[in-house]
Amino acid sequence: MGRSVLDNFKKRFGEPAKIELRYAKAKTPPSEDAYRSAQISKAYAEVLKGVLGREPTQDEIFGEANLRIV
């Protein structure tokens, strides 16, 4: 049987964990959320472009069509 999620986490990051998670204390303004979302979408499309070797279609970007890797 496979390892538990906690066992895999400990194996990868050690015991005690050698990573630190920090969460924002204040909520970000809507304009910042919109900017970040746009940047992430742009980066995602660029990664698809690099993987596919061509411009991805809008359906491929939105996940509505299967990727055609040639």
Residue 35 lies in a domain: yes
Residue 8 lies in a domain: no
Average model confidence (pLDDT) across the chain: 85
Mean pLDDT of 29-38: 93
Residue 20 lies in a domain: no
Residue 64 lies in a domain: yes
Residue 33 lies in a domain: yes
Supply the pLDDT for residue 22.
83
pLDDT in tens, 5-32: 888 878 887 788 777 878 878 888 999 9
Structural domain that includes position 55: 25-70
Taking residue 10's Cβ as centre, other Cβ atoms within 10 Å add up to 14
- Which residues 6+ apart lie within 8 Å of 10 measured at CB? 17
CA distance 67 to 70: 9
CA distance 19 to 25: 19
Count the alpha carbons within 13 Å of 4 in the hemisphere toward its beta carbon. Answer: 3
Structural domains of the chain, count: 1
Residue 11 lies in a domain: no
Residue 48 lies in a domain: yes
* Lookup: tokens for 20: 């630190």
Residue 15 lies in a domain: no
